[in-house]
């Protein structure tokens, strides 16, 4: 439900019960009712929130070694005041919960994903108590035997409980378990016009957009006298009374502008206003809404998976979402907005909420609409062979229907998926299709999705398609060929990926500031480091080993020896190789002849400080991996692919709706500065197009760009392709190719950095006399808006500096296990730091 604007009467909206709460923990079963609760030991408790967030606020949570919160009882209480009938709305209780009013048990809940309404009557004041019972009894209850048991989750009987897997996945995330009123608790207002529910949906009809509204009031109305209108942009329409409680209607917006993912256009949203009683003072903002169409094209063989938005194919790229704050399971709007800004700036246009996580807040989906980021949404089901009894099916049906109704208004919701890796788990254990099928994915959920969100495509499971659900060349896959399975880079083409709903996965090393301030070590064999490195349960390796494999095979260094002799160099090369691999894989997938229509990196943000899967670290700082992706994911993009004996291919991409006119420049350098060959030619890229240009055709003569023929010594060490805008000659994007990636000697490359004042901020002007490989900025108070990039000689680049919070704030954030925003508007000191490049013999200092 949208929040009211400042002019609206607050009492018409549900009253948030977010203050005055206390909580206390007791052994399981110690207190049968509120009357038995202890008098002491109560903590002030934020609501919405969790037991972990209450303990964090009190300074009592050790996020590195949290207690097993789900196996004790926890009580919350608050005093309600008022006279008359009220409706209590509990949006989410994690997980086995009882609701008590003045020592009378009024409601039970066995799913953290279901909201409840409870009608009550107040006569002055009353005590509302929420009890969250230990999971032990539910986990040990007799249920039909599962056909398989995944290693991912502990204990495996968690399949019987409707709760998140976060906190129950050893090796994946900290064991901070979800307990408490994690979603808002509300009282419906007592005003005559008090709103109960607001159900909004949009659709496209030809060139027009149509918004449908069903508004239900808490109290009956005089339908003969009360009128209402709905306004969308400049369009307005009258609403009709279905009954004394319900207003319905629709407004048509002629020639409505479409909502687009930001890479392909503007994410246009229209403001919505409700007016009651023909009185302008009774106008209420209902937020905003967008118009778009989404469908999936399967290709000529019926085995592809390409998302089309408004009839246009969209290469979907982004990452899998975890949580803005593992402790609260929500995070603040500022935390969410910071992460969305980083994702959009990197060129991402899709986020996937996996079945191992939780359904996100309305604020999450509203920001996805605003920022133009598509959302692939799994239902909260993963890995298990789920029960199929009537009670379980009824719980899932209510959960799914409530989620889809709540998010019906959001244009960004692009894919609905039954869940994550349930079919894959069974297939990898050798079960045939007949023994691994689950009706919840093939019958129940698709029927609910078709009824509640017919505008959003449904996928039974991720991955799915092919003889085995994890086949890379059919349907939706989870691609870890490059990554966990340590395949060579050319496997990204050989695998013929159609759509990777998960991919890559590396132990991505954070910047030095996070290692020092949040983790407390830069040494990868320190127990604090290893505790944060993800691993698959039962595997004899972790994802540090995966990264080291590519460090060895691509850069020709021995990781163990380098780590021992020069740990700082080891970290820099570790950051560089991940940025390079991720950039290369997406360059491969985005080329014109690729079979791939999308890839989502596992994962977007870390849940704890360290070398986790996230491309954003636990303090909110982007890692080298995110910068590497940003070099390859922009809407107007140039990339290079090594075609061996066929030379070097240049790929030009224009996802915009306008023709791009520009100039392509190609140059090869020896010793990082001496021009060997060069060429230039005009290019024109039609809207929504991709072109492939052979470097040889551009040059017009033979040159061994890839050093495949090896006629004598290699003539060059780097090729630079530059795309300039025709009118301004400004550089739009660059791409670099090294015929030999191995790390050779470092040199004095003539790297300089100059600090300049920029309005109310700062910037660096960085220049080099020789090609600089993976330029990186290190500053205790700032981060570079652009980082981990290659720099051509005599081509200065301006990098805005973004201030960070204080080190003390960062330490507080990580100690509290919060993936919090670290950008700040506060005045910071004059920049003073260093600029490195991995082929430079020494750092360049600036102040």
Give me the CATH number covering residue 825: 2.60.40
pLDDT digits (tens, 9 = 90+) for 44-70: 999 999 999 999 999 999 998 999 999
Q: Look at the chain and report how many structural domains it folds into.
A: 5
Considering only CA atoms, which of 96, 95, 78, 87 is closest in space to residue 118? Answer: 87
**Is 430 contained in some domain?**
yes
Could you tell me if 223 and 330 lie in one domain?
A: no
Q: What is the mean pLDDT of residues 82-101?
A: 96
pLDDT for 7 beyond 90: no
Could you tell me if 616 and 670 lie in one domain?
A: no
pLDDT for 224 beyond 80: no
Q: What percent of the chain has pLDDT over 90?
A: 85
Residues with Cβ within 8 Å of 669's Cβ and at least 6 positions away in sequence, in order, are 675, 676, 716, 717, 718, 719, 720, 771, 793
Q: Are 296 and 278 in contact (CB under 8 A)?
A: no
pLDDT digits (tens, 9 = 90+) for 648-706: 999 999 999 999 999 999 999 999 999 999 999 999 999 999 999 999 999 999 999 99
Q: How confident is the model at residue 827 (pLDDT cuts 50, 70, 90)?
A: low
Q: What is the mean pLDDT of residues 611-620?
A: 96
Can you give the pLDDT at residue 735? 98
**Is 273 contained in some domain?**
yes
pLDDT for 185 beyond 60: yes
Joined together, the tokens standing for residue 771 give: 């090609």
**Is 157 contained in some domain?**
yes
Could you tell me if 482 and 563 lie in one domain?
A: yes
**Is 353 contained in some domain?**
yes
How many Cβ atoms from other residues are within 10 Å of residue 271's Cβ? 13
Joined together, the tokens standing for residue 26 give: 């007791």
Considering only CA atoms, which of 546, 597, 51 is closest in space to residue 329? Answer: 51
Q: What is the mean pLDDT of residues 498-520?
A: 94
Can you give the pLDDT at residue 166? 96
Could you tell me if 171 and 199 lie in one domain?
A: no
Could you tell me if 643 and 626 lie in one domain?
A: no
Could you tell me if 486 and 371 lie in one domain?
A: yes
CA 297-299-304 angle, to 5 degrees, is 80
State which residues form the domain around 814: 752-846
**Is 9 contained in some domain?**
no
DSSP string of 320-377, one letter each residue:
EE--SBTTTSS--HHHHHHHHHHHHHTT--EEEE-TTS-PPPHHHHHHHHHHT-EEEE
Can you give the pLDDT at residue 283? 87
Q: Are 162 and 121 in contact (CB under 8 A)?
A: no
Residues with Cβ within 8 Å of 508's Cβ and at least 6 positions away in sequence, in order, are 547, 575, 578, 611, 612, 613, 614, 615, 623, 624, 625
Could you tell me if 668 and 551 lie in one domain?
A: no
**Is 660 contained in some domain?**
yes
CATH number of residue 412's parent domain: 3.20.20.80
Can you give the pLDDT at residue 194? 85
Q: What is the mean pLDDT of residues 277-290?
A: 84
CATH number of residue 263's parent domain: 2.60.40.10
pLDDT digits (tens, 9 = 90+) for 519-555: 888 888 889 999 999 998 878 899 999 999 999 999 9
Task: Select from 135, 157, 183 the last residue of a domain.
Answer: 183
Question: Phi, psi (5° rounding) for residue 200?
Answer: -120, 145
Could you tell me if 760 and 728 lie in one domain?
A: no
**Is 1 contained in some domain?**
no
Could you tell me if 384 and 506 lie in one domain?
A: yes
Pick the range with the lowest mean pLDDT from 271-285, 486-500, 615-629, 704-718: 271-285
Q: Are 105 and 111 in contact (CB under 8 A)?
A: no
**Is 835 contained in some domain?**
yes
Could you tell me if 554 and 586 lie in one domain?
A: yes
pLDDT for 190 beyond 90: no
Quote the CA–CA distance of 229 and 742 in Å, as a whole number: 67
682 forms beta bridges with 663
Can you give the pLDDT at residue 420? 96
Pick the range with the lowest mean pLDDT from 66-80, 232-246, 827-841: 827-841
Q: How confident is the model at residue 815 (pLDDT cuts 50, 70, 90)?
A: very low
Residue 543, CA distances (Å) to 533, 535, 549 in order: 7, 6, 10
pLDDT digits (tens, 9 = 90+) for 335-372: 999 999 999 999 999 999 999 999 999 999 999 999 99
Q: What is the mean pLDDT of residues 268-291?
A: 89
Can you give the pLDDT at residue 279? 64
pLDDT for 808 beyond 70: no
Could you tell me if 167 and 206 lie in one domain?
A: no
Can you give the pLDDT at residue 467? 86
Helices (H), 693-796: 695-699
Task: Select from 159, 183, 207 the last residue of a domain.
Answer: 183
Can you give the pLDDT at residue 536? 87
pTM: 0.95
Could you tell me if 386 and 460 lie in one domain?
A: yes
Q: What is the mean pLDDT of residues 156-180?
A: 94
Can you give the pLDDT at residue 821? 38
Q: How confident is the model at residue 280 (pLDDT cuts 50, 70, 90)?
A: low
CA dihedral (505, 510, 511, 512) positive or negative:
negative
Task: Select from 603, 630, 657 the last residue of a domain.
Answer: 630
Can you give the pLDDT at residue 744? 79
CA 101-105-110 angle, to 5 degrees, is 115
Mean pLDDT of the chain, nearest integer: 93
CATH number of residue 71's parent domain: 2.60.120.260
Cis ω on the peptide bond leading into residue 155 (within 30° of 0)?
Answer: yes
């Amino acid at each position: 439900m949208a929040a009211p604007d400042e002019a609206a009467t607050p009492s018409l909206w549900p009253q948030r019960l977010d203050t005055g709460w206390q909580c206390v923990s007791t052994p399981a079963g110690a207190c049968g009712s509120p009357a038995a609760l202890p008098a002491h030991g109560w903590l002030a408790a934020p609501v919405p929130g969790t037991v972990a967030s209450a303990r964090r606020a009190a300074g009592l949570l050790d996020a590195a070694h949290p207690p097993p919160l789900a196996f004790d009882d926890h009580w919350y209480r608050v005093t309600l005041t008022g006279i008359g009938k009220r409706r209590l709305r509990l949006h989410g209780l994690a997980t086995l919960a009882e609701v008590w009013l003045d020592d009378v048990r009024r409601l039970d809940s066995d799913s953290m994903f279901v909201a409840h309404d409870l009608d009550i009557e107040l006569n002055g004041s009353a005590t509302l108590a929420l009890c969250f019972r230990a999971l032990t009894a539910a986990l040990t209850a007799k249920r039909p035997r599962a056909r398989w048991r995944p290693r991912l989750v502990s204990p495996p009987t968690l399949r019987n409980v409707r709760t998140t897997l976060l906190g129950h996945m050893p090796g994946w995330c900290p064991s901070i378990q979800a307990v408490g009123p994690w979603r808002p608790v509300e009282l419906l207002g007592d005003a005559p016009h008090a709103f109960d529910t607001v159900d909004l949906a949009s659709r496209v009809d030809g060139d027009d957009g149509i918004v449908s509204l069903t508004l239900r009031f808490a109290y009956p109305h005089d339908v003969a006298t009360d009128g209402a209108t709905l306004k969308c942009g400049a369009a307005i329409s009258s609403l009709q009374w279905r009954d004394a409680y319900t207003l319905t209607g629709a407004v048509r917006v002629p020639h409505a502008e479409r909502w687009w993912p930001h890479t392909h256009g503007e994410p246009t949203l229209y403001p919505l206003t409700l007016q009651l009683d023909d009185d302008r003072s009774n106008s209420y903002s209902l937020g905003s809404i967008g118009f778009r169409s989404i469908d999936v094209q399967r290709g000529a063989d019926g085995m592809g998976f390409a998302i089309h938005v408004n009839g246009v194919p969209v290469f979907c790229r982004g990452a899998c979402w975890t949580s803005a704050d593992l402790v609260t399971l929500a995070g603040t709007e500022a935390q969410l907005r910071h992460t969305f800004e980083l994702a959009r700036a990197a060129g991402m246009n899709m986020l996937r909420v996996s079945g191992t996580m939780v359904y996100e807040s309305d604020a999450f989906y509203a920001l996805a609409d605003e920022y133009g980021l598509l959302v692939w949404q799994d239902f909260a089901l993963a890995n298990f062979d789920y029960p199929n009894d009537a009670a379980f099916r009824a719980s899932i049906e209510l959960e799914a229907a409530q989620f889809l109704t709540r998010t019906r208004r959001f244009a960004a919701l692009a894919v609905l998926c039954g869940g994550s890796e349930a079919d894959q788990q069974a297939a990898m254990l050798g079960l045939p299709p007949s023994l691994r099928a689950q009706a919840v994915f093939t019958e129940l959920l698709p029927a609910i999705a078709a009824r509640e969100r017919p505008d959003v495509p449904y996928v039974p499971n991720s991955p799915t398609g092919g003889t085995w659900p994890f086949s890379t060349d059919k349907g939706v896959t989870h691609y870890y060929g490059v990554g966990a399975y340590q395949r060579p880079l050319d496997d990204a083409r050989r695998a013929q990926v159609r759509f990777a709903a998960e991919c890559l996965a590396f132990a991505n090393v954070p910047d030095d500031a996070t290692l020092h301030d949040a983790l407390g070590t830069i040494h990868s064999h320190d127990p604090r480091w290893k505790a944060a490195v993800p691993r698959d349960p039962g595997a004899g390796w972790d994802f540090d080993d995966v990264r080291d494999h590519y460090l060895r095979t691509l850069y020709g260094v021995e990781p163990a020896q380098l780590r021992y002799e020069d740990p700082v160099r080891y970290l820099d090369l570790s950051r560089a190789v991940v940025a390079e691999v991720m950039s290369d894989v997406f360059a491969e997938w985005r080329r014109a002849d690729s079979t791939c229509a999308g890839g989502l990196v596992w994962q977007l943000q870390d849940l704890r400080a360290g070398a986790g899967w996230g491309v954003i670290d636990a303090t909110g700082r982007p890692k080298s991996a995110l910068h590497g992706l940003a070099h390859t994911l922009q809407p107007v993009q140039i990339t290079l692919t090594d075609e061996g004996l066929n030379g070097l291919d240049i790929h030009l991409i224009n996802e915009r709706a306008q023709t791009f006119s520009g100039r392509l420049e190609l140059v090869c350098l020896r010793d990082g500065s001496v021009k060997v060959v060069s060429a230039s030619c005009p290019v024109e890229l039609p809207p929504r197009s991709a072109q492939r240009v052979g470097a040889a055709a551009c040059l017009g003569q033979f040159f061994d760009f890839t050093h495949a023929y090896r006629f004598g010594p290699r003539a060059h060490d780097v090729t630079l392709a530059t795309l300039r805008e025709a009118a301004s000659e400004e550089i739009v994007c660059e791409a670099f190719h090294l015929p030999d990636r191995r790390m050779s000697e470092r040199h004095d490359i003539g790297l300089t950095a100059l600090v300049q004042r920029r309005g109310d901020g700062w910037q660096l002007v960085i220049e080099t006399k020789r090609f600089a490989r993976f330029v990186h900025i290190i500053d205790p108070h700032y981060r570079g808006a652009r980082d981990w990039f290659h720099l051509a000689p005599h081509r200065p680049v301006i990098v805005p500096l973004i201030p960070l919070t204080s080190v003390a704030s960062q330490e507080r954030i990580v100690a509290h296990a919060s993936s919090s925003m670290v950008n700040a508007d506060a005045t910071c000191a004059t920049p003073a730091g260093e600029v490195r490049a991995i082929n430079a013999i020494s750092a360049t200092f600036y102040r």
